[in-house]
Amino acid sequence: MKLLAIETSGDACSAALLIDGAVTQVFEIAPRRHGERILPMMQTLLDQAALRLIDLDAIACGRGPGSFTGVRIAIAVSQGVAFAANLPVIPVSTLAALAQGQFRRGGQRLLLTALDARMDEVYWGCFTIDPRGLAVPVCPERVCSPDQVSAPSAASWFGVGSGWAAHQTRLLARCGDGVQSISTDGLCEAQDIAVLAVSQRLSGGQQQAPELALPVYLRDQVAVVPSTIG
């Protein structure tokens, strides 16, 4: 299988090419430059592999939650290139990719993912790593106050993501002694989007026509509107 994945939901911008299980990634910390960087990254990977878009089986992308602008970029770029090459799009949860990445780096199998959602909230997810080595959700993804998160009972959770940096004390107060350790600098990466996308495609789920691929924001409110003074 040949699949090109992109991820732009946070400060990092990355693209990954998966060919029969082998993954090559281009990764860059590029706040507010995703729109100008992601297409050249994709083209670099294709050129290195001597492939064209039409040689691929699918395009995958991080569908959110995350930065509203970043998530929209990933969806729009995926839709555009997939439509041009007549390919399906596989949207992948960024929280699942965050958990998958931590398993890849550190081997932890019980993961509490938290991304800073601003407005005193976090994007929250709970994942286990199944026997195939893939992140599987064990609770619904949600956006909420750090004081409202919850996790299934377990004694060895590992917290990962920017939400733990922003709200560590409050999250630990909610999760109690079940959290053994945390990593506040874990980032979503395209290589983990690619791995999860292949699994979704092989299982027959969540592969869509480009125009049906949608972002997942988890909330409707995207900004605080100041009250009128007078």
Tell me whether domains 2-93+188-212 and 107-183 share a fold: yes
Q: Which residue, among 81, 73, 99, has the nearest Cα to 11 in the 3D structure? A: 73
Q: Please enumerate in sequence order all residues whose Cβ is within 8 A of that of 189, keeping only pairs 6 or more positions apart, or say none.
A: 7, 12, 14, 16, 25, 27, 97, 101
Average pLDDT per run of 10 along the chain, which is 230 residues long?
97 97 96 94 98 97 96 97 96 98 98 97 98 96 97 90 97 92 95 95 80 90 37
pLDDT given at position 205: 64
pLDDT given at position 155: 76
pLDDT given at position 214: 93
Residue with tokens 């005193």: 120
pLDDT given at position 161: 97
**Do 193 and 7 meet the contact criterion of CB atoms below 8 Å apart?**
yes
What's the pTM? 0.93
Q: Give the integer Cα–Cα distance in Å for 55 and 37.
A: 22
Rg, the chain, Cα only: 18
Mapped onto helix, strand or coil, the DSSP state of residue 122 is strand
Q: What CATH topology corresponds to 2-93+188-212?
A: Nucleotidyltransferase; domain 5 (3.30.420)
Q: Give the integer Cα–Cα distance in Å for 69 and 143.
A: 17
Domain ranges of the chain: 2-93+188-212, 107-183
Q: Which two tokens stand for residue 165?
A: 């940096």
- The CATH number, out of the four listed (2.40.160.40, 3.30.70.920, 3.40.50.1100, 3.30.420.40), of the domain defined by the range 107-183: 3.30.420.40
Q: Give the integer Cα–Cα distance in Å for 214 and 71.
A: 10
37 to each of 17, 28, 54, 80, 227, how far by Cα in Å? 16, 9, 21, 16, 37
Q: H or E stretch including 195?
A: helix 190-202
Q: Give the integer Cα–Cα distance in Å for 143 and 160.
A: 16
Burial of 14 (0-12, 13-18, 19+ CB in 10 A): buried
